[in-house]
């Protein structure tokens, strides 16, 4: 069906960052066919449907490019302990943290995981999210990792959202491999990765490089195995300390590196050479009460694309709001309105290897839109506790409309 979307203000988020006001879009069969000033609509256009947007702003559908959306249980008691002065790392070393969620997730069925994740996904979708990344990593055994990835795929099949999956088997060392980190990485490379890749369950391979997780060398071994299977890589790096993971990730052409509080000029230059996106996760920074922000100025100097994500997870970012993450990125990290909008659209698409498919209002891209009842684009990432998204369009179809 050919649809004309008219009487709107468009932020294209493309390379030129064009704005059309008043603008119009023509979509057909789920893709953008034309975009530009409404006064320049192609002659003889005969749309089968016209949608009047009454001067509202339209952006690409938002992309949440780093989440741990599928998990069981919660870790509110750990939050209380941290509020009393214990550190995230100390709780993890004592058997809490990721291992706590691992135990709950291993005990959950695929159906239970889907149902637990669904409200979190719907909350993000209501804010204009049309594409989301979902990781495994709370199973730390092959059967549960597969169950998590299947749950993520089901969420994408059951809802009007594109789901990109990441295999995060190297999230923490499971108790079965205590003291045998190299052996665990070898198991991932020789057994788990081929099984998951063969089943088509993962779109990328992720890892956590940190003192409480895996070394840069161990991550490099995993990345070499992933690349041999044709899977792109990404990394949690330099969150609590600098362990050299970012440089290894750049060496393997990682799609993105995420967190990055302890990165610097050297890492930024490596990302620029590799084409790696820096994904900033301000909710985790806030929730863990961290003091050292990521090196935003160094990343800017190297012209590294900046993406922003919710990091939705039960331990360090119990947040199902990308809009809140955008607000925090502006307030805590000093990002501009333009940077956070690109960080949740074009740059987030790049972080998922989807730059040619989503993330901008460009002919040929998916007709994924978020429509905003706001006066100015500065309001995206400004409001807290209020959602100004009034319409969500997925591949040319209105999937959510709400009064704002």
- What does the pLDDT read at residue 94? 67
- What does the pLDDT read at residue 86? 75
Q: Are residues 263 and 372 in the same domain?
A: no
Q: Are residues 113 and 142 in the same domain?
A: yes
Q: Are residues 262 and 370 in the same domain?
A: no
What is the domain count for the chain? 2
Q: Are residues 264 and 346 in the same domain?
A: yes
- What does the pLDDT read at residue 128? 98
Query: Which residue among 333, 351, 369 closes a domain?
Result: 351
Q: List Cα–Cα distances, 298 to 234, 263, 270, in angstroms.
A: 20, 9, 11
Q: Are residues 157 and 250 in the same domain?
A: yes
Q: Are residues 244 and 381 in the same domain?
A: no
Q: Are residues 124 and 102 in the same domain?
A: yes
- Cα gap 279→135, rounded to integer Å: 15
- What does the pLDDT read at residue 323? 98
CATH label of the domain that carries residue 23: 2.30.40.10
Q: Are residues 337 and 225 in the same domain?
A: yes
Q: Are residues 50 and 123 in the same domain?
A: no
Q: Are residues 243 and 382 in the same domain?
A: no
Q: Are residues 80 and 204 in the same domain?
A: yes
| Positions of the chain with pLDDT under 50 | none
Residues of the domain holding 376: 2-60+360-401
CATH label of the domain that carries residue 215: 3.20.20.140
Q: Are residues 107 and 157 in the same domain?
A: yes
């Amino acid at each position: 069906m050919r649809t004309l979307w008219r009487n709107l203000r468009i932020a294209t988020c493309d390379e030129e960052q064009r704005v059309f006001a008043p603008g119009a879009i023509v979509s057909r069969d789920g893709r953008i066919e034309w975009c530009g000033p409404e006064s320049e609509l192609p002659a003889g256009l005969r749309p089968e449907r016209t949608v009047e947007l009454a001067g509202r702003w339209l952006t690409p559908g938002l992309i949440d490019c780093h989440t741990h959306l599928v998990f069981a249980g919660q870790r509110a008691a750990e939050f209380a302990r941290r509020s009393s002065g214990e550190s995230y790392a100390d709780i993890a070393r004592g058997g809490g943290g990721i291992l706590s969620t691992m135990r709950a997730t291993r005990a959950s069925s695929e159906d239970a995981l889907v149902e637990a994740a669904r409200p979190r996904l719907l909350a993000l979708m209501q804010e204009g999210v049309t594409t989301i990344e979902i990781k495994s990593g709370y199973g730390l055994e092959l059967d549960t990792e597969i169950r998590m990835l299947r749950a993520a795929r089901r969420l994408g099949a059951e809802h009007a959202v594109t789901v990109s999956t990441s295999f995060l088997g190297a999230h923490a060392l499971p108790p079965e491999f205590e003291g045998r980190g190299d052996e665990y990485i070898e198991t991932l490379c020789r057994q788990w990765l081929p099984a998951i890749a063969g089943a088509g369950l993962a779109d990328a391979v992720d890892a956590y490089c940190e003192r409480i997780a895996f070394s840069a060398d161990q991550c490099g071994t995993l990345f070499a195995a992933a690349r041999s299977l044709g899977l792109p890589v990404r990394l949690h790096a330099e969150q609590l300390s600098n362990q050299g993971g970012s440089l290894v990730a750049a060496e393997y052409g990682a799609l993105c590196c995420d967190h990055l509080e302890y990165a610097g000029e050297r890492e930024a230059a490596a990302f620029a050479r590799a084409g790696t996106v820096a994904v900033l996760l301000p909710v985790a920074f806030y929730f863990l009460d961290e003091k050292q922000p990521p090196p935003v100025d160094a990343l800017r100097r190297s012209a590294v694309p900046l993406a922003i994500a919710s990091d939705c997870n039960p331990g360090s970012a119990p947040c199902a709001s990308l809009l809140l993450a955008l607000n925090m990125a502006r307030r805590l990290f000093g990002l501009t309105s333009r940077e956070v909008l690109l960080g949740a659209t074009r740059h987030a698409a790049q972080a998922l290897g989807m730059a040619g498919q989503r993330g901008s209002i460009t002919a040929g891209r998916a007709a994924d839109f978020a429509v905003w009842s706001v006066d100015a684009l500065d309001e995206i990432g400004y409001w807290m506790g209020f959602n100004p998204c009034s319409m969500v369009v997925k591949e040319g179809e209105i999937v959510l409309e709400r009064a704002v």
